[in-house]
Amino acid sequence: MSDAKRIGPCRYLAASKPLIQRPPVSFYHCPICGTVLKGTFPDGKVCEILCCGTKAERLLPKPADDGTLRYDIVGGLNENCLRVFWEGKNPDWLYLETFTGGQHMDIKKRPPAVFALAGEDAYAYCDKDPCVKCSFRCKNGFVLYAWYEGEGLYSLPINQIAATPGSSENTTRTPQRSQ
């Protein structure tokens, strides 16, 4: 079988885009030890979280719309993944919220960070590699979160459409975050 017709083990075979099958993730910060906790709660309820004997503060992410975080989707139909790039200071960690759950990654290196996708999360409308961010927005519903110690939590929805047809560039501005 030719490579073009090969079906990879991570490929999503259904003909339609999957539904979001997970409750939204919430993040909490302990004012005593500085730990950031994440959790999902049934029906999206907000819960009180205790850490170090005190109530943890619920974090509301700031939009990462200044271009500091960028992404591209590569791999086409068979091995697709989300690559995340950043400018300036490294985030301490990234969390990718997907159709079926999420993936956490501590950042101890230079960009890019790579989130491999499988099953429903690997849904792709076409086989473009890299993704051209067309109007189908295959990963619409995904959210990327980044934690910067001392700055807070940022979020970036994975639903951008390219500035020009056929371009894989995001429609974001030049990064401004301090080093």
What is the edge-to-edge ordering of all strands in the sheet holding 25-29?
A: 36-40, 25-29, 57-59
pLDDT at 176: 37
Residues 145 and 153 sit within 8 Å (Cβ to Cβ): yes
pLDDT at 4: 53
Q: Specify the pTM.
A: 0.82
pLDDT of residue 179: 40
Classify domain 61-170 by CATH number: 2.60.40
Give residue-wise pLDDT tens across range 78-97. 778 999 999 889 999 999 99
- How long, in residues, is the chain? 179
Domain chopping of the chain, boundaries: 23-60, 61-170
pLDDT of 163 reads 57
DSSP-assigned states of every residue in 85-149: EE-SSPPSEEEEE-SS-EEEEE--SSSPEEEE--GGGG--SS--SS----TT-TTBTBEEEEEET
CATH annotation of 23-60: 2.20.28
Q: What's the confidence (pLDDT) of residue 114? A: 96
As given in the structure block, the two tokens for residue 105 are 């990654």
Cα 123 from Cα 78, distance rounded (Å): 9
| pLDDT tens digits in sequence order for the chain, 179 residues long | 455 567 777 677 777 788 888 888 899 999 999 999 998 887 767 788 999 999 999 999 999 978 889 999 988 877 789 999 998 899 999 999 999 899 999 999 899 999 999 888 888 877 787 788 777 788 888 999 999 999 999 999 998 776 544 444 444 333 333 44
Distance CA 74, CA 172 (A): 19
Q: Which of 77, 79, 82 is nearest to 140 (CA)?
A: 82
